[in-house]
Structure 1
Amino acid sequence: MVLTKQKVFRFTFTHFFAILSSVMFIVTVILTFKLLTNDHCNCPRKETVIQYVAKPKHYINKGYESNHRLAVLVPYRNRFEELMEFAPYVHDFLNEQKINHDIFILNQVDNYRFNRASLINVGYLETKSNYDYIAMHDVDLLPLNKNLSYTYPYQPFHIAAPHLHPRYHYNKFIGGILLINRGHFGLVNGLSNKYWGWGLEDDEFYVRLKDANLNITRPDNISTGMNDTFKHIHSKDRKRDTVKCFNQREVTRRRDRQTGLHDVNYKILSYKSMTIGSAPLTVINIQLICDRSITPWCNCSEDKTDKRKS
């Protein structure tokens, strides 16, 4: 077979064009990938940034000389205004004390009544492998006195003591802000899971601590008092869920020896990494699961007989 000059030229040009096209394709892919993996936008950053993540991200301040890590556990539902004030304030407060800490917002996303105790149980189980102690911390209570210490507690340490809290002053009160180390919280099997709605879960936890012969300590040498030690940012128009239905009133006034860390029933729907001002947070979206044969008052709308206020 005899190849003419015209055929040779056509064959060479075709192969050259094919090679050139392949090279251009490879270069285009490389440049596109590079552009996608580099942020060239100088757009202004918003103060609040939310990023979805698969697992909680830990923001421990590794520069602080401390052998103990604190997980601040904040039971939460629909309190965004309070959270916007709480997060940067508490983060800065703890940084001033050089406390190695992370803040976890325990966001209840199911349709049951709010269950503060179960949310804290979940928060403990999700963080205990990385933290030495927890702060059971209300989102609407801010410490004002710089001498209120968040250091590691060798005994349960009730920061929001009755003689300092702006609203609750009875001796057995341990709500608001309580520090407890990992070992002691596990020892008492966490909190009861029977407290759907507002109130009494802290009183039951007080009995658990006493039954375990743990000594509840409180701040001393604090010069401020009930009116200027804490800032309570709970809005007056926000109603508490104090309804009692079924046999809730009777059951929740007794020591619970059945429920706790070992049987809290829940699903983690997602984690979110979130920053408010200077404060990095981990939001854990939690779906609590109610066993209506044990606590039918997780949903009082089904009870038609008794919805009295406590």
Structure 2
Amino acid sequence: MGQRINVMGYRLTASKCLGLCLVLTFVMGCYLAALPIRYEKEALPNPVRQRITSKELPKKRLAVLVPFRDRFEELLEFVPHMYSFLNRQKIPFHIFIVQQKDNNRFNRASLINVGFKYSQKDYDYIAMHDVDLLPLNNNLKYDYPAAGPVHISSPQTHPKYHYDTFIGGILLVKREHYELVNGMSNNYWGWGLEDDEFYVRLKDAKLTVMRPSNITTGIDNTFRHIHDKTYRKRDMRKCFNQRDVTRRRDHQTGLHDVQYNLLNTHTVAVDGLNVTVLNVELLCDKSRTPWCQCPEPVKPVVKKSAGKK
């Protein structure tokens, strides 16, 4: 009996100790919970950075395609001006100078086709841009033409051309629309009419050409036209059956069959501003467009009559 009492006594003492420990643990936990928690940033393993997600979609990228041959004085003005103008609009862009390096007559449309092929993977839309036409009005927006082509140099503001279907000078076209109409015709060697044919392509594809609105400037102060016609005469000769062919809509040639060799590419800095120069050799099928090389007219030789000095 005495041993059982001792055992029972032992059990009674142990249970009291256990209860006391539980009470002390509870009191200590409450005390620690009331203390301020301090930690050093260096003591945190692998800190997690806050990830910021923008709801704005990235802007579309613009390839400015400049068909070019021997116009270096104009290029020196064009590049700094366009960098300043487009940077004010915060448009991601790059300028591609598509330079024709062959003995054929100048072919603006084919050069634009080549420039488009070169840039189409990295750029969402193009500006078909003459090197001698500088925009002055900041309300001329070079934004992505989602709804259809945008003619920046409208007939109401272009310094020289004012007919309703004119779309030359500066035209914005998104990549999908340029592919839809198969680019531009390759039949236009020499000056003129390639943009008129492109207008018909856009019309046939039911694409409406839009123009800037609310432009308060006019033909004298919307653009600076730096072409000197006395110094650089336009090649307006018509050879063989060129006049007849180029007055009709071309359903055969275009982006898919432009024939050329890309000789090389260079990054060139103009006033510290980089542009990409594509040196291009255009190939001519003389059985189809013999006027790619139009011989200069032979001037008649005036013979002096006898007896006259």
TM-score, length basis structure 2: 0.76
Q: CA deviation at 1:66?
A: 3.6
Tell me which stretches of 4 or more aligned residues in structure 1 moved more than 3 Å: none
Tell me the alpha carbon deviations over residues 229-287 of structure 1, each in whole angstroms, 9 at most, x when there is no partner.
00000013210000000000000000000100111000000001011014210000000
In structure 2, relative to structure 1, the CA distance for the partners of 1:278 and 1:93 (3 Å cut) is farther
Secondary structure of the structure 2 residue equivalent to 1:281 = strand
1:93 aligned onto 2:101 = no
Alpha-carbon distance between aligned partners in 1 of 2:127 and 2:160, rounded to the nearest angstrom:
20
For the pair shown, the structure with the greater C-alpha radius of gyration is: 2
The corresponding residue for 2:281 is 287
1:208 aligned onto 2:201 = yes
Tell me which amino acid in the other structure corresponds to 1:293.
Answer: S
1:255 aligned onto 2:224 = no
Alpha-carbon distance between aligned partners in 1 of 2:286 and 2:197, rounded to the nearest angstrom:
21
Alpha-carbon distance between aligned partners in 2 of 1:274 and 1:88, rounded to the nearest angstrom:
13
Secondary structure of the structure 1 residue equivalent to 2:66 = strand
Q: CA deviation at 1:103?
A: 0.1
Secondary structure of the structure 1 residue equivalent to 2:82 = helix
* C-alpha contact 1:245 1:303 (8 A) present in aligned 2: no
Secondary structure of the structure 2 residue equivalent to 1:300 = coil
Which of the numbers 229, 233, 236 marks the counterpart of 1:242? 236
Report 1:43-58 matches (<5 A): none
Q: How many residues align?
A: 241
The corresponding residue for 1:102 is 94
1:150 aligned onto 2:142 = yes
The corresponding residue for 1:274 is 268
Report 1:226-241 matches (<5 A): 226-237=219-230, 238-241=232-235
Which one scores higher on RCO, CA 8 angstroms, separation ≥ 6? 1
Percent sequence identity is 63
Which of the numbers 108, 116, 120 marks the counterpart of 1:116? 108
The corresponding residue for 2:153 is 160
Q: Which structure 2 residue ranges, 5 or more long, are not aligned?
A: 1-55, 299-309
Tell me which amino acid in the other structure corresponds to 1:137.
Answer: H
The corresponding residue for 2:59 is 67
Q: CA deviation at 1:67?
A: 2.7
Alpha-carbon distance between aligned partners in 1 of 2:112 and 2:102, rounded to the nearest angstrom:
16
1:126 aligned onto 2:132 = no
The corresponding residue for 1:81 is 73
Q: CA deviation at 1:303?
A: 8.6
* C-alpha contact 2:59 2:91 (8 A) present in aligned 1: no
1:296 aligned onto 2:284 = no
* C-alpha contact 2:61 2:123 (8 A) present in aligned 1: yes
